[in-house]
Amino acid sequence: MKELKDKIKEIRDREELSQDEMGRRVGYTNRASINKIEKGNGDVPFDKLLDLINEYLLELEDLTNKEVVGYSLRDLVEDDWRQLILVYKDVMCIPFFNSDNCHGDIFYYSTEAKMKNAIKFWQDSMEKGHFVRKVIEDASNNRAVGTIEYFVRNNEPNYNNTIVLRVDVHHYYEKKKALIKVFKIAIEEAFSNANCTSLITKGWDYAIERREALKFLGFKEQDDDLIGHNKEKYSNYWLLNKKD
């Protein structure tokens, strides 16, 4: 399997680009940067990897030359805005964010200020006990690649005393294999900290990879809607019962 430096040169040769041209496409200012990478003397920052993937329609594994080995959850800190903004400003991620019952917020945060405000809101809301939100970290590169949120619905007509789990990941991680790993740690976290025996999460009709991951994990698609603050009806929920 090719190393990253060889893969980048392969892409450049295929596209018939000079080192200058390829560098400009992903935000470098001169040919020296691409030249160093191809010689194995330079690192590629994560945001440049994302630019390469987006520009050439690649998978993350194509560039990192290894599979993602796992994920972990950790507490939010203010400086997470630098990595999380790559998730929350990407319009390809928005269709997979569960914004049901969120007063019109679709979780699109395109600037430093908006991302910082979102993190501050999440932290304040956790202090008030409204929900728990944690960072998903890719163990292969220690990058924040999304967040999870969970809370318990009480005194509701449908899904009473049930955990609602939201999982936001960069769309490069919206793949069955990665989602299974992320959901496993999210489910364990939620059931460990909430006194409930059932959990629901969103699985839209178009979210093929996510639905396949949910099926693999034992979720069942539900007919009942989640009822919102103003009696809105939200569909496409999947339910998982806690194992004894």
CB 162 within 8 A of CB 226: no
Among 12-16, 174-178, 217-221, top mean pLDDT goes to 217-221
Q: Looking at the structure, give the CATH architecture of the domain made up of residues 4-64.
A: Orthogonal Bundle (1.10)
Q: Which tens digit of pLDDT belongs to each residue from 33-80? A: 888 888 887 777 777 777 776 666 565 556 655 444 579 999 999 999
CATH fold group of domain 71-241: Aminopeptidase (3.40.630)
C-alpha distance from residue 140 to each of 67, 71, 129, 137, 189 (Å): 8, 8, 32, 9, 21
Task: Compute the mean pLDDT over every residue in the chain, rounded to the nearest whole number.
Answer: 88
Looking at the predicted structure, is the pLDDT value of residue 29 above 90?
no
Q: Where are the domains of the chain?
A: 4-64, 71-241
**The model's pTM:** 0.74
Q: Quick one: which of 163, 172, 167, 170 has its CA closest to 214?
A: 167
The sign of the torsion formed by the CA atoms of 82, 86, 90, 93 equals negative
Q: Which tens digit of pLDDT belongs to each residue from 193-222? A: 999 999 999 999 999 999 999 999 999 999
Angstrom distance (rounded) from CA 33 to CA 29? 8
Looking at the predicted structure, is the pLDDT value of residue 30 above 50?
yes
